[in-house]
Amino acid sequence: MPSSAGTHGPGQEKAPAALRAAGLVDRLEAAGIPVTDHGDLPVEPFRADRERRNRQNVDRVAAVVRSVSVALRPLLDAPALPVLIGGDCTITLGAMAALVDKWPDAGLLYFDGDLDLSTPDSTVSGVLDTMVLAHLLGEGTPELEAPVLAVDRIEAFGHDPRELGPASRERLARHGLRTTACTEVTEANARELAARAWTRLGSGQVLLHFDVDVVDSVDFPLANFPHFNECLPERVAMDCLAEFCSSPGLAALVVTEVNPDRDPDGVLVDRLVGHLVNALT
């Protein structure tokens, strides 16, 4: 899903090619997992949008969301786990639409360094990938046709509470969104808290959204939006990812926020591929 249309700069559209070049498919197959590579959707690079400053590139983002949903729907009928490589966080809106179309009570585990509860009237940047959970809770801009989830079908995990502005804090409290902040998670309790968060979603099908900015950027500076000395240490984050990927009801995995421009020698992308292979096996 090579799109950076929903974010604040270029780079994320290069992630699918970078992970493929780093051997994601080959290394999964070497680990005993057969893989079908369905290729890429069209590239949608970032461009600043002077016409819609509070909802940047909303027409292009809406088109990407629709194309993700259309591409994913038939894959949900196959006896396989879809793994969607982004791209910015807005692709999760399309993935969630496909899941809800097949399983109306589908849930979401939002493993992300941010809660993405901004809306066009509460943001200065107008960047749509800061608004993903707000749209799934029924707020946002009507041009993005996102499903509205019951709040008990969402778990947010790993965000840094210091990043929340007043409007997002108000929205978090008003909806009663369940969260596990990064400040609660340690190496000793990471897997236990991850399993508990997943269990609260019940027995239905669940989409796992994994934004690499949930990892402290001092440890792993690959995310498009860095969090230096914030969020989770790399080892702790990847323990949580492995716990989520081994959980019952996992229906699809979305990987977002990878910006290869922040990794000119490819070391971090290579490490990420290793983490994904480990989690999926």
Q: Encoding tokens for residue 71?
A: 């591409």
What is the count of structural domains for the chain?
Answer: 1
Q: What would the mean pLDDT of 236-254 be, rounded to a whole number?
A: 97
Per-residue pLDDT tens over the stretch 57-106? 999 999 999 999 999 999 999 999 999 999 999 999 999 999 999 999 99
Per-residue pLDDT tens over the stretch 173-219? 999 999 999 999 999 999 999 999 999 999 999 999 999 999 999 99
Residues 222 and 225: their CA atoms lie apart, in Å, by: 9
CATH number of the domain enclosing 59: 3.40.800.10
Residue at 261 is within a domain: yes
Cis peptide bond N-terminal to 23, omega within 30: no
Residue at token pair 């290394």: 27
Residue at 144 is within a domain: yes
Residues 177 and 152: their CA atoms lie apart, in Å, by: 8
In degrees and rounded to multiples of 5, residue 179 shows phi and psi of -140, 155
Residue at 161 is within a domain: yes
Residue 182's domain comprises 12-280
Residue at 3 is within a domain: no
Residue at 240 is within a domain: yes
Residues 106 and 97: their CA atoms lie apart, in Å, by: 10
Residue type at position 118: S
**Residue 151 · residue 130 · CB < 8 Å:** no
What does the CA dihedral 65, 68, 74, 80 come to, rounded to 10 degrees? -130
Per-residue pLDDT tens over the stretch 133-181? 999 999 999 999 899 999 999 999 999 999 999 999 999 999 999 999 9
